[in-house]
Chain A
Amino acid sequence: MTKVKITVGAINKDAGSSRRYKTGGWRTMKPEVDLEKCVSCFKCFDYCPDGAIKKTDEGIEYDLDYCKGCGICAKECPVEAIVMVKEEK
């Protein structure tokens, strides 16, 4: 973890600095999207608790630095374009 010098009153001015911590390491299952099937409804984007899905022109893209592998996206995808596969370590 990044060490920083303490601030007065523990006020943290480094907004969004949680991104330094990569929660992707927690994952045991990994999502894979079939962009051929994806209809860009972006339900997965809205439901993802971790903001680990980005919208793209082709559909979506995962930010595996943060995906915890919860599987909500795969379960909620209305066209079954996402599958969860075992994470290779």
Chain B
Amino acid sequence: MADQRSMTIKGNMATAMGAKLCRPKVVPAYPITPSTLFPEKMSEFIADGELDAEMINVESEHSAMSACIGASATGVRTCTASASQGVALMHEMLFVASGMRLPIVMAVGNRALSAPINIWCDHQDTISSRDSGWLQFYAETNQEGLDLMINAFRIGEDNDVLLPAMVGIDAFVLTHTIEGVEVPAQEDVDDFLPPYEPPHGRLDPDEPSTFGSFGTPEYYQEFKQAQVEAMEGSREVIDRVFDEFEERFGRRYNKVTTYKCDDADIIILTMGSMTGTAREAVNRMREEGKKVGLAKLTVFRPFPYPELEEIMSGAKGLAVVDRNISPGGFGAVYSDLAGASINIEKKPLIKNFVTGLGGREIFVKNFVEIYEKTLAAVEAGEVKKPLEWINMNQEVMR
């Protein structure tokens, strides 16, 4: 392995560097806060001759994803970036990309959805597209953002998967924050990720095929089932690719990464950049002798049921911290986890904590509160209030 280059860069630059190393050929993109630096950087790479590709400066996110679909179907590696309203606007096309089995990769600067308009971090944008058939990865750090871009191409393009993938990096907390990252060498990434050759077909006059057929009730359900099978099949591929990535680049990724969970009574489950704060909280609580652990979700789709089942098996209480909310329901991670655990005999009490919406900060003390509330439920032997809001600004509440 060639030496990795140490750089101190913003999260958007990290995802752009990751994308560049994967040598995409077509990059259709539309600017949106907080992801705009991604198309800017890709444009610069192309302008400076560092990347042999073409930008399409489209007139909307809907067209960005549409152009990705056209380019990917023509047989070239394609990526884009977006956030928030942009992801919402392209929602329709997300389903088309996965239905056609086009392994497009999108970096998302996770940002809240309007109204009221808000440019800061939460996960509502990508969570609201969880059913679109895309693989979903969430980064804790800029390093993870860069690495997950490379992994996303490799996993999505695997012949047994052929699905698009999004890599979420938290708005501002990561997108605009400078961190140290190790950047792999181009030749190593070239080795890790061979050129894209679509095995299932491409738009080519020498072998004319029709993409985007009209699917009648006779066939539609079978297509959807095949798509779900590919998503299921990606579980094994993700493990294999993460292993290979570690072997090659020395950094370990897991669908779920645990921290001090072995003897923990209470486990806090997080996703994205809040994990760093949660880890600090766990360290401090451990110093006080509290048996608390942390589980970080890196892969949200496919939802890692088996891994979480194992983690849950030893704990008495599980605190799921969601940076998103389905009004009238729960946070998405909680809902999925509750669904996954319903048939498990030995499971902890599970509580859902919603916080960090629209850029609300999440402090160490908030995780301590989350721990205490979960512990109280365990001690009481029941969950009276499954959903609780954390770090509310009492001064402005009606």
Q: How large is the interface on A (under 10, 10 to 19, 20 to 34, 35 or more residues)?
A: 10 to 19
- Give every chain B residue within 8 A of A7 (Cβ-Cβ): 200-201
Contact flag A9-B162 (CB < 8 Å), given A15-B208, A15-B210: yes
- Give every chain A residue within 8 A of B209 (Cβ-Cβ): 11-13, 15
The docked-state distance in angstroms from the alpha carbon of A6 to that of B215 is 11
Instruction: Say whether B102 faces chain A, with CB atoms less than 8 Å apart.
Output: yes
A12's partner among B101, B213, B222 (CB-CB below 8 A) is B213
A11's partner among B200, B219, B222 (CB-CB below 8 A) is B200
A9's partner among B200, B207, B222 (CB-CB below 8 A) is B200
The docked-state distance in angstroms from the alpha carbon of A6 to that of B207 is 18
Expressed in whole angstroms, the minimum distance between the Cβ of A78 and any Cβ of chain B is 35
B-contact bits for A14-48, CB 8 A (1 contact / 0 none)? 01000000000000000000000000000000000
- Give every chain A residue within 8 A of B199 (Cβ-Cβ): 8
Closest chain B residue to A4, Cβ basis: B219
Closest chain B residue to A6, Cβ basis: B222
Tell me whether B207 and A11 are in contact (CB under 8 A). Answer: no
The docked-state distance in angstroms from the alpha carbon of A77 to that of B210 is 35
- Give every chain A residue within 8 A of B215 (Cβ-Cβ): 10
Instruction: Say whether B331 faces chain A, with CB atoms less than 8 Å apart.
Output: no
Tell me whether B201 and A9 are in contact (CB under 8 A). Answer: yes
Tell me whether A8 and B226 are in contact (CB under 8 A). Answer: yes
B100's partner among A6, A10, A13 (CB-CB below 8 A) is A10
The docked-state distance in angstroms from the alpha carbon of A37 to that of B64 is 57
- Give every chain A residue within 8 A of B100 (Cβ-Cβ): 9-11
Expressed in whole angstroms, the minimum distance between the Cβ of A34 and any Cβ of chain B is 38
- Give every chain B residue within 8 A of A15 (Cβ-Cβ): 208-210
- Give every chain B residue within 8 A of A10 (Cβ-Cβ): 99-100, 211-213, 215, 219, 223
The docked-state distance in angstroms from the alpha carbon of A8 to that of B162 is 9
- Give every chain A residue within 8 A of B201 (Cβ-Cβ): 7-9, 11, 13
A-contact bits for B308-331, CB 8 A (1 contact / 0 none)? 000000000000000000000000
B207's partner among A3, A8, A13 (CB-CB below 8 A) is A13
Expressed in whole angstroms, the minimum distance between the Cβ of B224 and any Cβ of chain A is 10
Q: Of residues 284 to 304 in B, which have CB atoms within 8 Å of A's CB atoms?
A: none
The docked-state distance in angstroms from the alpha carbon of A15 to that of B208 is 6
The docked-state distance in angstroms from the alpha carbon of A12 to that of B147 is 35
Q: Of residues 210 to 230 in B, which have CB atoms within 8 Å of A's CB atoms?
A: 210-213, 215, 218-219, 222-223, 226
Tell me whether A12 and B210 are in contact (CB under 8 A). Answer: yes
Which one of A3, A10, A13, A15 has the highest number of Cβ atoms from chain B below 10 Å of its Cβ? A10
The docked-state distance in angstroms from the alpha carbon of A68 to that of B158 is 46
Q: Of residues 27 to 74 in A, which have CB atoms within 8 Å of B's CB atoms?
A: none
Which one of A3, A9, A12, A15 has the highest number of Cβ atoms from chain B below 10 Å of its Cβ? A9
Expressed in whole angstroms, the minimum distance between the Cβ of A12 and any Cβ of chain B is 4
Expressed in whole angstroms, the minimum distance between the Cβ of A63 and any Cβ of chain B is 22
Tell me whether B101 and A9 are in contact (CB under 8 A). Answer: yes
- Give every chain B residue within 8 A of A8 (Cβ-Cβ): 101, 162, 199-201, 226
The docked-state distance in angstroms from the alpha carbon of A8 to that of B158 is 13
Closest chain B residue to A15, Cβ basis: B208
Closest chain A residue to B211, Cβ basis: A11
The docked-state distance in angstroms from the alpha carbon of A81 to that of B211 is 41
Tell me whether A9 and B210 are in contact (CB under 8 A). Answer: no
Closest chain A residue to B227, Cβ basis: A9
Contact flag A6-B226 (CB < 8 Å), given A11-B100, A13-B201: yes
22 contacts between A and B (CB under 8 A): A6-B223, A6-B226, A8-B101, A8-B162, A8-B201, A8-B226, A9-B99, A9-B100, A9-B101, A9-B102, A9-B162, A9-B200, A10-B99, A10-B211, A10-B219, A11-B201, A11-B210, A11-B213, A12-B209, A12-B210, A13-B201, A15-B210
Given A6-B226, A11-B201, A12-B210, 9 extra CB contacts under 8 A? A3-B218, A7-B200, A8-B200, A9-B200, A11-B100, A11-B213, A12-B213, A15-B208, A15-B209
- The 5 A-B pairs with the shortest beta carbon distances in the complex, nearest first, are A9-B101, A8-B200, A11-B201, A12-B210, A15-B208
| Residues of B bordering A, CB below 8 Å | 99-102, 162, 199-201, 207-213, 215, 218-219, 222-223, 226
| Residues of A bordering B, CB below 8 Å | 3, 6-13, 15
